[in-house]
A and B are shown apart, each in its own frame.
Chain A
Amino acid sequence: MTVIDPPAQVDPPVSPELETGARRAASRRGFLLGLPALLYLTVFFMVPLGIVVAYSFATRSRTGRTELRDWNLDAYARLGDDVVRTIAVRSLWIALATTLISLVLAYPLAYYMSTRTPTVRNILLVGVMLPFWSNFLVRTYAWRVLLDSDGLVSQATQAVGIGETRLLFTPTAVLIGLVYRYLPFMVLPLYAAIERIDWSLVEAARDLHASAWTAFRRVVWPLSLPGVIAGSILVFVPSFGAYVTPAILGGNKEGLLGSFIVSQFLSARNGPVGASLSVVVLSVMLVATLWYFRSGGRNL
Chain B
Amino acid sequence: MKGVARSTTAPTGAARWWLTAHASLVYLFFYAPIVVLVLYSFNDSRIIGGWDGFTFRWYGEFAENRSVRDALAVSFRVALLSTAISVVLGTLSALSIERFRWRGRRLLDGVLYLPIIIPDVTMAVMLLVFFSEAADIIDRLPFIDLSSGLETLVISHVAFNISFVSVVVRARLANLDPSAEEAAADLYANRWQTFRRVTLPQIMPGVIGGALLAITLSLDDVVVSSFVQAIGSTPLPVFVFGLVRRGVSPLINAVSVFMLAASTGLVLVSLLVQRIRSSPGEPKELIP
Contact = CB atoms under 8 A, between A and B. Distances in A.
Interface of A: 23, 26-34, 36-38, 40-42, 44-49, 51-52, 55, 105-106, 108-109, 111-113, 115, 124, 126-131, 133-139, 141-146, 148, 150-152, 155, 180, 183, 199-200, 202-203, 206, 212, 215, 237-238, 240-244, 247-248, 258, 261-262, 265, 271, 274-275, 278, 281-282, 285, 289, 300
B115 A45 contact: yes
A212 B49 contact: no
B92 A34 contact: yes
Given A138-B37, A240-B119, A241-B122, 6 more contacts: A26-B100, A41-B112, A41-B115, A47-B130, A115-B10, A115-B11
B153 interface: no
Interface stretch (B58-66, B158-166, B177-185): B158-166
B114 A108 contact: no
Contact of A237 (B22, B119, B156): B119
Q: Which of A29, A41, A42 has the most CB of B within 10 A?
A: A41
Contacts of A30: 96-97, 99-102, 105
Given A44-B155, A150-B47, A144 B244 contact: yes
Nearest to A144: B248
Contacts of A141: 37, 240, 244, 248, 252, 256
Contacts of B15: 212
Interface string B4-38: 01101111000100111011001101110110110
A116 to B, nearest CB: 9
B7 to A, nearest CB: 10
A139 B244 contact: no
A133 B267 contact: yes
A137 B89 contact: no
A40 B40 contact: no
Interface stretch (B200-208, B258-266, B276-284): B258-266
A130 to B, nearest CB: 6
Contacts of A240: 119
A93 to B, nearest CB: 17
A105 B26 contact: yes
Interface in B235-278: 237, 240-241, 244-245, 248, 252-253, 256-257, 259-260, 262-264, 267-268, 270-271
B122 A203 contact: no
B271 A31 contact: no
A180 B36 CA distance: 15
Q: Specify which of B9, B95, B213, B268 lies most central, judged by the most chain A CB atoms within 10 Å of its CB.
A: B9
A286 to B, nearest CB: 8
Nearest to A114: B6
Given A48-B129, A135-B237, A38 B104 contact: yes
A26 B103 CA distance: 11
Interface in B194-253: 213, 216, 219-220, 222-223, 237, 240-241, 244-245, 248, 252-253
B287 interface: no
Given A145-B37, A151-B49, A33 B125 contact: no
A134 B37 CA distance: 14
Interface string B102-143: 111101100111111111111011111110011000000000
Shortest 9 CB-CB distances between A and B: which pairs?
Answer: A30-B100, A241-B119, A34-B96, A48-B130, A33-B96, A30-B102, A37-B93, A150-B49, A142-B33
Interface string B84-96: 0000111011011
B119 A137 contact: no
Nearest to A207: B8
A37 B241 contact: no
A200 B5 contact: yes
Contacts of A289: 113, 117
A180 B27 CA distance: 11
Chain B CB within 10 A, most for which of A128, A142, A248, A262: A142
Given A33-B96, A37-B112, A139-B34, A243 B256 contact: no
Contacts of B23: 108-109, 112-113, 124
B6 A41 contact: no
A18 B33 CA distance: 64
Contact of B268 (A130, A131, A212): A130
A282 B122 contact: yes
Contacts of B99: 30
A40 B126 contact: no
A262 B123 CA distance: 11
A206 B30 contact: no
